[in-house]
Chain A
Amino acid sequence: MNTKVISLVSIGAHPTSGRARRAEQDARAVELGLQLAGDNLQVLHAGDSQEPALRAYLGMGLEQLHVLEQPAGADALGVLGDYLRDAGAELVLTGSQAETGEGSGMLPFLLAEQLGWPLVVGLAEVESISNGVAQVLQALPRGQRRRLKVRLPLLATVDNAAPKPRQSAFGPARRGVLAARQVEIVEDELFTGAELQPAKPRPKRLKVIKAKSGADRMKAATAKASGGGGQVLKDVSPQAGAEAILKLLIEEGVVR
């Protein structure tokens, strides 16, 4: 396949020790990329090229990893967007949410907006790519999959539905090259200006189990999420459709 695939990676943190590591979801983005493009996969990170945890990605068998050199607190969005456009990327894969830093999960959305590309969240598998159109499977809750056809270039996030990342090996990790490149540094004012504090655990909603038997519980756990009401609009003009959606959002209190 000669589609240009780029995986974006960040520095992760181990959930119990907090030590730097390869981020779980980003590693899956690399795995998926390797399965699609093999040695042609390009992996990109914006940040510190001296960070040893980056070598864990190289250990997956990469010859090099491109780093857009940035200090902590810089905004990665602009430089990533420029790089991807210049590099002629057609399929960009990334984790859904970083394990360190802001971890807002907004980067893929902002990046897609900036590039004007479609975004697929929860990519589980790329089935085929032909004539500039990718046929992919998107992961939905409860193990469901949705088949989508999306035109390239395309940005996709992966989560735990994507294939498990391969083991990182010491030899390739040591041999691989961290290719740093100087870029313009834009301060992320939203991040550096904000005050960070540890998250409070959210109160849990009480779960009332109505099911009487094990079979009922099984059914409840595996049932498709189904809205009761709802309305299917067919053959309406875009204008009318948009109005109907807006009306619903106002009714539900999503848009005020």
Chain B
Amino acid sequence: MLNTLLPILLFAALGLAVLGALRRVSLWRQGRPSKVDLIGGLLAMPRRYMVDLHHVVARDKYMANTHVATAGGFVLAAVLAILVHGFGLHNRILGYALLFASVLMFVGALFVYARRRNPPARLSKGPWMRLPKSLLAFSVSFFLVTLPVAGILPANFGGWVMAVILGVGVLWGVSELFFGMTWGGPMKHAFAGALHLAWHRRAERFGGGRSTGLKPLDLEDPQALLGVEKPKDFTWNQLLGFDACVQCGKCEAACPAFAAGQPLNPKKLIQDMVVGLAGGTDANFAGSPYPSLDGSGKPIGEHGGNPHQPIVNGLVDAETLWSCTTCRACVEECPMMIEHVDAIVDMRRHLTLEKGATPNKGAEVLDNLIATDNPGGFAPGGRMNWAADLNLNLLSDKKTTDVLFWVGDGAFDMRNQRTLRAFVKVLKAAKVDFAVLGLEERDSGDVARRLGDEATFQLLARRNIQTLAKYSFKRIVTCDPHSFHVLKNEYGAFDGNYVVQHHSTYMAELIESGKLSLGQHKGGTVTYHDPCYLGRYNGEYQAPRDVLNALGIEVKEMQRSGFRSRCCGGGGGAPITDIPGKQRIPDMRMEDIRETKAELVAVGCPQCTAMLEGVVEPRPLIKDIAELVADALIEEVVASQPAPAKRKPAEVH
């Protein structure tokens, strides 16, 4: 009896799966076109899955092994089951292979089951709680129905009772694992995930690459959309990407805004986008809600939408989008390589460029950027006041130089001026041939772009690129990771291609080549805070540590450091949009710092400096790496200048 039932079940399930797949594909195709290499992507997919994705999953050994056993076992078992039970190839070897595959899958499923017994808060519940049981049902049923094929049991063992039980087990298994995959069950992640890997919008990320610059909007074409208003305004492969989410909540656990109780949960956001692309409400979401100020979380089930309805204030509240610091912690952690930040900025673009709805200080900052080239609205003529006594070379005089020192808007901030002056001291001590743009420099456009104002970003970028084109230099060095990122990764789209370095990288090189004579750092223990835009955005974790080591500092690492570093709360215009939460992100980061018992935290970013120094004292001291290096410089005694021994020029700190 099973011999007639099984093929029917299997092929019916497969047929339904194909129908579901077609339907799902048509949902994704509602999105805007996007150029991807369809065939090449598919061919590259297995490698992307086994190398790149596994690399992320392998950070959690338990889950990695579990997944290899379950998924590997399932794929093998499914193929063999179709051959053996679908086409009736009752071959002993195939039978044994199928037995092996289902055992492998069974073992994996047991571990999934164990994890699900006491799931951490970041995991979604709901249908996901059923998944381990479905996996067990599938593996056990196929194990048992295959025993006769392998010749271990007689063909009609157990009679019709057994046949019915196994029939039900197989039905359950193939429902979840075959057509559940394309009809929106938990297994959807396998189907959508595989295609998402194949047609990812940032294929450069695979094979160890990095792709973090935002993609430009076409402002020349008046018909082109300015950002994303409705789910169908995303590109089709972005929609596909949302569908790949496994609701593992790794992003939620890493998100600083979520931890601070701001109304953002990256996992929920991605799930809301899935609701948007398929239509409906968020009532079935079974994970942590967006935090709310009263601590109970925003109620589930009150938001909904469809591909043709505006997202904001239907599906998602605007404050959710404005809570993000664009720190990329979620993207870094996501095993499905989903691009949360792209999606958030896309939606912000619509709010800013079409609706004029940048919250709080947003409008003022953008107006300032347009009118004064700096976010503070300071008179542009004051950009070089910090260096009035330093006799810096201007590129407009020199025309050519080795190092172009990109000062950044920190020039207007008294605290950051200390860092800038310290770095100039280091450059001078190393006898570097350097120059600045002076009054010709403008804001890099970073904040405007993260706030969604692509127009102002492109305006600033084009003007800066025009200025830079007038001169010749070997590299740009800057103390600001945001300028660094924009100059290095985002000006390329406008034909601005430069060698750009963060000052920590450059100082590490100077030290390496013996251009600096350094003493030892005096003072207590030191920890180091990785800026998001230097670390996760650009992969520079080592140089700042090398510089600190060269000063005789042994860095007391925070638990969250390197690629897991927690944001200071200063990125993405978050201090400007200032969405309230239960606590402030910099306070949480300061707690991380305090845990190391370090007396000083070394930083490499004017934003981080400002955010961390904004934490009330008593707290560890905050110093930029350039300041630490400048303090440890052993100044050469210049013999030819019989300077009065005691009256050294006072350093302005």
User: In the complex, A172→B373 CA distance in Å?
Assistant: 22
Of the listed stretches B150-158, B357-365, B595-603, B605-613, name the one at the interface; the rest are far from the partner chain: B357-365
Q: Is A171 an interface residue (CB 8 A)?
A: yes
Interface class of chain B by DSSP: helix
Q: Among the interface residues B352, B356, B358, which one has the most CB atoms of the partner chain A within 10 A? A: B356
A13 (CB) vs chain B CBs: closest residue: B371
User: In the complex, A11→B22 CA distance in Å?
Assistant: 56
Q: Is A197 an interface residue (CB 8 A)?
A: no
* Contact indicator per residue, chain A 141-171, by CB within 8 Å of chain B (1) or not (0): 0000000000000000000000000111111
Contacts of B362 in A (CB 8 A): 167
Q: Is the CB of B356 within 8 A of A175?
A: no
Q: Is A60 an interface residue (CB 8 A)?
A: yes
Known A-B contacts A16-B372, A21-B371, A175-B222; A168 and B379 likewise in contact (beta carbons under 8 Å): no
User: In the complex, A60→B363 CA distance in Å?
Assistant: 12
User: In the complex, A92→B635 CA distance in Å?
Assistant: 69
Known A-B contacts A167-B358, A170-B453; A17 and B379 likewise in contact (beta carbons under 8 Å): yes
A24 (CB) vs chain B CBs: closest residue: B367
Contacts of A168 in B (CB 8 A): 356, 363, 367
A14 to chain B, nearest CB (A): 4
Q: Is A224 an interface residue (CB 8 A)?
A: no
Q: Is A47 an interface residue (CB 8 A)?
A: no
Known A-B contacts A19-B371, A19-B372, A167-B363; A60 and B380 likewise in contact (beta carbons under 8 Å): no
Q: Is the CB of B371 within 8 A of A169?
A: no
Q: Is A174 an interface residue (CB 8 A)?
A: yes
Q: Is B355 an interface residue (CB 8 A)?
A: yes
A181 to chain B, nearest CB (A): 24
B373 to chain A, nearest CB (A): 8
Q: Is the CB of A169 within 8 A of B352?
A: yes
Residues of B146-181 at the interface with A, using a CB-CB cut-off of 8 Å, are: none
Q: Is the CB of A169 within 8 A of B356?
A: yes
A171 (CB) vs chain B CBs: closest residue: B354
B372 (CB) vs chain A CBs: closest residue: A17
* Contact indicator per residue, chain A 223-240, by CB within 8 Å of chain B (1) or not (0): 000000000000000000
Residues of B565-582 at the interface with A, using a CB-CB cut-off of 8 Å, are: none
Q: Is A61 an interface residue (CB 8 A)?
A: yes
Contacts of A172 in B (CB 8 A): 354, 356
Q: Is B378 an interface residue (CB 8 A)?
A: yes
Contacts of A19 in B (CB 8 A): 370-372
Contacts of B354 in A (CB 8 A): 169-172
User: In the complex, A252→B489 CA distance in Å?
Assistant: 69
User: In the complex, A69→B565 CA distance in Å?
Assistant: 58
Contacts of B367 in A (CB 8 A): 21, 168
* Contact indicator per residue, chain A 168-184, by CB within 8 Å of chain B (1) or not (0): 11111011000000000
Contacts of A170 in B (CB 8 A): 226, 352-354, 453-456
Q: Which positions in B face A, CB cutoff 8 Å?
A: 222, 226, 352-358, 362-363, 366-367, 370-373, 377-380, 453-456
Q: Given known contacts A170-B454, A170-B455, A171-B226, what 18 new A-B pairs fall within 8 Å (CB)?
A: A14-B371, A16-B371, A16-B372, A16-B377, A16-B379, A17-B371, A17-B372, A59-B356, A60-B356, A167-B356, A167-B358, A167-B362, A167-B363, A168-B367, A169-B356, A170-B453, A172-B356, A175-B222
Q: Lowest 6 CB-CB distances: which A-B pairs, in order?
A: A169-B356, A167-B356, A167-B363, A14-B371, A16-B379, A170-B455
